[in-house]
Amino acid sequence: MNEWDQEKFEHEILEEVKRVSAPNRGSAAEAGRRNGKGRHQPPPVRRDERTADQKPLSAETLMTLTFSPIKYVAPGVIVEGLTLLAGKPKLGKSWLLLHMAIAVARGGFTLGDIHCAEGDVLYLALEDNLRRLQARMTKLLGLQKWPSRLQFLCEMPRLAEGGLAKIKEWIAGAEHPRLVIIDTLAMVRMPNRKDQSTYDADYAAVKELRKLANEAGIAIVLVHHLRKADADDAFDTVSGTLGLTGAPDTILILKRDTAGNIILHGRGRDLVEIEKAVIFNRDACTWTIAGDASLVRTTKERVTILEAISDATEPIGPNDIAAAAGMKPTNVRQLLRKLVKDGAISKADYGRYTVTATATPITRSHSRSHSEQVFEGTQEPKA
């Protein structure tokens, strides 16, 4: 199979530029581009111009091309390219990414049992200082050997003022660059220009990072915040316009749902959409994936409904159960049908339910061991 020859392609484009420019060599503008020997110097060709001049490629030819496999930095969560991770302030985004950075730098595990291939990591902790980073690293690693492949920067110019060049310099000097974390977007993006729409400004703020990540074959994770207003779709809660969520390759949202569970939502071009319940261990300051959000959410809601029925002194109806459980009546009715089918509850009379005699009694101590203890870690980490 033929491989795409990028060097040959660029050479052909430069030759084409020379050919097109030949008739105009006598002009004053072109005379200024000649060196001391009178040899014509073609104007520099930018990458976007090469893209514009690229010839169409047939599907038959495309079929014969071979590409390197996509790299998964944290399989199922972080893939090569640009990832935008958004969440409320102080929810624990930095703890999640610092632990992941350590896992990549050591070839270890993160988020429970996700194994990361080893590589070099640059963590741009632009809202922190070295003292705080040392304290957090000590919390996560203690007296273990700290990885030399993890490097930190607490100060960096904005992307257009030298920050992007700084990241490129690190990538060029690293033995096996794999992950760059930028915490946060607000610290590196340029102020909006007067001639820019808000959408264009948001898109421009991240498109160069996406281009760099794809060219270098690494993952760049950009930390951002959610807006105050909620939405039915978690991805609509990212602060900013659609330009900010349209440019990255992957969007991750760390968000608390109405039941109090913290859910990691993920959607991307090379990432299968995910919705995972995650637990924060406040003692170890680590995150763990508990399972699919739908299953975890259903388990907790089932316990809540069984508690409400058990606490009632007589058979109780869906509306009363919903009021006692703090849930929507529609959701309660759906779960009631499942609980009846599973034999956990039974209909005492029309529209009223009671816990079956064979079901495990639901007491406050029992429900805490099942729900509060399991989901206790979904509380926000303390500063």
List the CATH number of the domain containing 171.
3.40.50.300
For residues 207 and 214, what is the distance between their CA atoms, to the nearest angstrom?
11
Domain end (from 23, 47, 64): 64
Q: Work out the average pLDDT over 132-142.
A: 96
Would the pLDDT of 127 be above 70?
Answer: yes
Q: How confident is the model at residue 308 (pLDDT cuts 50, 70, 90)?
A: confident
Least confident of 49-58, 172-181, 306-315: 49-58
Q: What's the domain count of the chain?
A: 3
Q: What confidence category does residue 370 fall into, taking pLDDT thresholds of 50, 70 and 90?
A: very low
Residue 367 has pLDDT above 90, yes or no: no
Angle subtended by helix axes 163-173 and 198-216, to nearest 10: 10
In a domain, residue 288? The reply is no
Q: Are 179 and 158 found together in one domain?
A: yes
- Report pLDDT digits (tens) over 73-106: 999 999 999 999 999 999 999 999 999 999 999 9
Q: Which of 237, 257, 272 is the last residue of a domain?
A: 272
Domain coverage including residue 42: 6-64
Whether residues 228 and 346 fall in one domain: no
Task: Report which of 158, 207, 229, 201 is spatially closest to residue 48, judged by C-alpha positions.
Answer: 207
* C-alpha distances in Å from residue 352, one per residue of 290, 329, 346, 357: 33, 14, 9, 16
Spatial CA neighbour of 16 closest among 45, 38, 39, 57: 45
- Looking at the structure, do residues 234 and 212 belong to the same domain, yes or no? yes
Beta strands 274-281 and 262-268, pairing class: antiparallel
The contacts of residue 67 (CB under 8 Å, 6+ apart) are none
CB proximity list for 326: less than 8 A, separation 6 or greater: 304
Q: How far apart, in whole angstroms, are the C-alpha atoms of residue 73 and residue 178?
A: 7
264/274 Cα distance (integer angstroms): 8
Closest C-alpha to 230, from 255, 248, 193: 255
pLDDT tier at 182 (50, 70, 90 boundaries)? Answer: very high
Domain shared by 302 and 254, yes or no: no
Residue with tokens 């919903």: 322
pLDDT reported for residue 94: 96
**Residue 237 near residue 265, CB atoms below 8 Å:** no
Q: Which has the higher per-residue pLDDT, 51 or 106? A: 106
Instruction: Give the predicted TM-score (pTM) of the model.
Output: 0.70
Q: What are the tens digits of pLDDT across the range 12-23?
A: 666 665 665 554
Domain boundary among 238, 272, 306: 272
For residue 81, count CB atoms less than 10 angstroms from its CB and return exposed for 0-12, middle for 13-18, buried for 19 or more. buried
Task: Pick the range with the lowest mean pLDDT from 39-43, 167-171, 315-319.
Answer: 39-43
User: What pLDDT, on a 0 to 100 scale, did the predictor assign at position 10?
Assistant: 62
Let me know whether 12 and 83 are in one domain.
Answer: no
Q: Residue 369 is which amino acid?
A: S
233 versus 361: which is more confidently predicted? 233
* Whether residues 97 and 209 fall in one domain: yes
Would you place residue 252 in the very low, low, confident or very high pLDDT band (cuts 50, 70, 90)?
very high
pLDDT at 288 over 90: yes
